[in-house]
Amino acid sequence: MARRALITGITGQDGSYLAEHLLREGYEVWGLARGQANPRVSRMRKLLADVQVVRGDLLDQGSLISAVERVQPDEVYNLGAISFVPMSWEQAELTAEVTGMGVLRMLEAIRVCSGVSRGGTAAGGQIRFYQASSSEMFGQVSETPQNERTGFHPRSPYGVAKAYGHFLTQNYRESYGMFAVSGILFNHESPRRGAEFVTRKVSLGVARIKLGLADELRLGNLEARRDWGFAGDYVRAMHLMLQAATPEDYVIGTGRMKSVRELAEAAFAAAGLDWERYVVTDQALHRPAEVDLLCADPKKARVQLGWEPTVSFDELVALMVESDLRLLSDGGDPDQDSSWP
Ligand code: NAP
Ligand code: G4F
C-alpha cells in the first residue's frame, strides 16, 4: 500500500514542490487547506491534480484532529505558517497563533490520534512529523556559519514564533518518544515564491522593466545578506529527514551568502540591464529589527542524509527572471493573490 503524507501549507511554495516530490516517490498525498473559498486552493488543484484536499486550519484544534483521523498519515509535514517576516510585526498575535501555536495543535492532533498518552512511557506512535523551522530563529547571529548547535536570537515576532515551534517539536520527541524533527531551512526561492519576498519582487521588477511595464524597482535594505537556495532542492531534504533511522534536526542551506545588492545586480544582468539605473532605495521598506546576515553550515545534512543543493545562486536568479519574463509576456498576473510589496 502507498505511504500517505499530509502536508499543511499545501497552497504555498514549499507545499507545491514537496507534493510533487512525494507523488514522484509513490506517496498518496493529502493537503490541508483552510477557508471555504480559498482561491489558492483552486490554483493548487490545477498544478497538483493528484493531491487530495482535506479541510482544516492551524487555528482550529478540532479540524486538525479530524484531518489526521481521516487521512491516517504515515508522515505529516507542517509547512503552514504566516511566513512573511514584515507581516509578523503588524499581526504579531496572529503570527504567534498560526506559526507558533499551530505547531502545538498539530503535534497534539498526532499525539491524540496515535494513542500516545501523557502519563505512559515514551512509546512514540507511528506518525512521523516534520516541522518547518527557520534560519530566522538565529536572528542576530552569534557565529557564522550557523549550524544545529548555534544559539537563537530571533529578531521578529515570526522568528520568536518559529523558535517556540522548534523547541516544542524537540519537547514532543523527548517527552513522548515521537518521531518529530525540525528542518532549520535557510531562504529558498523559486518561480513559485510569493511576490512579497525579495527574490521574487526583484525578478518580477526586472521583468516589468525589461518589458516596459515599469521604470523603477523600490527596495529596502540592500546590505542584508542571505543564504539563498532553490526550493525544489530543499523539499528533498524534508523527506530525507523523515526517512532517517533516528529523529534529529538539520540545518539546510547552501553555505554561501549574497547581499540584496548582489541579488539585484545579478537579476538585472540576467536581463541585460544595469541595476543601478533602476533600483531606488526606500526607508519605508526597512524593518524595525533586521537580520543582517544568515549563512548555513549544512555539513550534518550532507554527511548524514547525503543531501546536496543542485542549483547555484546565479542559476536560481536566472531561472526566476526567465520565468517572470515568460509569465508577464503571456499576460499572467502574479499579483492576483498578493498585496504585499
Ligand atoms: P508560503 O508560500 O508563505 O506558504 C504558507 C502556507 O501556510 C500557505 O499554504 C498558507 O495557506 C498556509 N497557512 C497560512 N495560515 C494558515 C492557517 N491558519 N492554517 C493552515 N495553513 C495556513 O511559505 P513557504 O515559503 O512555502 O514556506 C513553507 C514553510 O517553511 C513556512 O512554515 C515557512 O515559515 C517555512 N520556511 C520557509 C523558508 C523559505 O525560505 N521559503 C525558510 C525557512 C522556513 P493559505 O493559502 O490558506 O494562505
Ligand atoms: O525575502 P525576504 O522577505 O525574506 P526573509 O525575511 O529573509 O524571510 C524568508 O526567509 C526565512 C528564512 O531565513 C523564512 F523563515 C521566512 O518565512 C521567509 O521565507 O527578505 C530578505 C532580506 C531581508 O533582509 C529584507 O530586509 O531582503 C531584505 N529586503 C530588502 N528590500 C527586502 C526588500 N525584503 C522584502 N521582502 N522586500 C524588499 O523590498
pLDDT at 118: 79
Q: Is the CB of 186 under 6 A from ligand 2?
A: yes
Q: Is the CB of 187 under 6 A from ligand 2?
A: yes
Q: Is the CB of 188 under 6 A from ligand 2?
A: no
Domain boundaries, the chain: 4-188+230-252, 195-226+257-294+313-336
Identify whether 190 is a catalytic site residue: no
pLDDT at 123: 64
Beta bridge partners of 5: 29, 75
Residue 159: its H or E element? helix 157-176
Tell how far the Cα of 120 is from the centroid of ligand 2, in angstroms.
43
Which distant-in-sequence residues (6+ apart) come within 8 Å of 189 by Cβ? 197, 199, 200, 228, 229, 230, 231, 316, 320
Q: Residues 199, 266: contact at Cβ < 8 Å? A: no
Output the CA–CA distances (angstroms, integers) from residue 336 to 74, 145, 148, 332, 339, in the order listed.
Answer: 35, 37, 38, 9, 8
- Among 128, 141, 218, 139, residue whose Cα is nearest residue 182: 128
pTM for the complete prediction?
A: 0.97
Tell how far the Cα of 12 is from the centroid of ligand 1, in angstroms.
5
Residuewise pLDDT in 10s, the chain (341 residues):
899 999 999 999 999 999 999 999 999 999 999 998 888 998 898 889 999 999 999 999 999 999 999 999 999 999 999 999 999 999 999 999 999 999 999 999 999 999 998 765 556 779 999 999 999 999 999 999 999 999 999 999 999 999 999 999 999 999 999 999 999 999 999 999 999 999 999 999 999 999 999 999 999 999 999 999 999 999 999 999 999 999 999 999 999 999 999 999 999 999 999 999 999 999 999 999 999 999 999 999 999 999 999 999 999 999 999 999 999 999 987 865 433 22
Q: Is the CB of 85 under 6 A from ligand 2?
A: yes
If DSSP codes are grouped into helix, strand and coil, which group holds residue 180? strand
pLDDT at 122: 54
If DSSP codes are grouped into helix, strand and coil, which group holds residue 70? helix
Beta bridge partners of 52: 30
Tell how far the Cα of 287 is from the centroid of ligand 2, in angstroms.
10
Output the CA–CA distances (angstroms, integers) from residue 19 to 76, 91, 211, 229, in the order listed.
Answer: 12, 29, 33, 19
Backbone region of residue 124 per phi and psi (left: phi > 0; alpha: psi in -120 to 50; beta: other values) = left
CATH number at 195-226+257-294+313-336: 3.90.25.10
- Tell me whether domains 4-188+230-252 and 195-226+257-294+313-336 share a fold: no
* Amino acid residing at 243: Q
* Amino acid residing at 35: G
Q: Residues 27, 51: contact at Cβ < 8 Å? A: no
Instruction: Name the CA radius of gyration of the chain, rounded.
Output: 20
Enumerate residues lining ligand 1, CB below 6 A.
Answer: 8-15, 34-35, 38, 40, 57-59, 79-81, 83, 98, 132, 134, 185, 187-188, 194
Residue 159 alpha carbon, nearest atom of ligand 2: 15
- Among 87, 52, 70, residue whose Cα is nearest residue 287: 87
pLDDT at 339: 30
Given the DSSP bridges, would you call strands 4-8 and 28-33 parallel, antiparallel or unpaired? Answer: parallel
pLDDT at 338: 36
Q: What is the DSSP string of 246-265?
A: S---EEES-S--EEHHHHHH
Mutate to test the pocket of ligand 2, among 17, 84, 85, 88 (most ligand atoms within 8 A of CB): 85
Identify whether 182 is a catalytic site residue: no
pLDDT at 156: 98
Q: Is the CB of 189 under 6 A from ligand 2?
A: no
| Ligand with the closest atom to the CA of 287 | 2
d(CA 189, CA 194): 9
| Ligand with the closest atom to the CA of 38 | 1
Fold of the domain built from segment(s) 4-188+230-252: Rossmann fold (3.40.50)
Identify whether 134 is a catalytic site residue: yes
Tell how far the Cα of 260 is from the centroid of ligand 1, in angstroms.
22
The strand ranges marked E within the chain are 4-8, 28-33, 52-55, 75-78, 128-134, 180-185, 188-189, 217-219, 225-226, 229-230, 250-252, 258-259, 279-281
Helices 102-113, 157-176: axis angle to 10 degrees equals 20
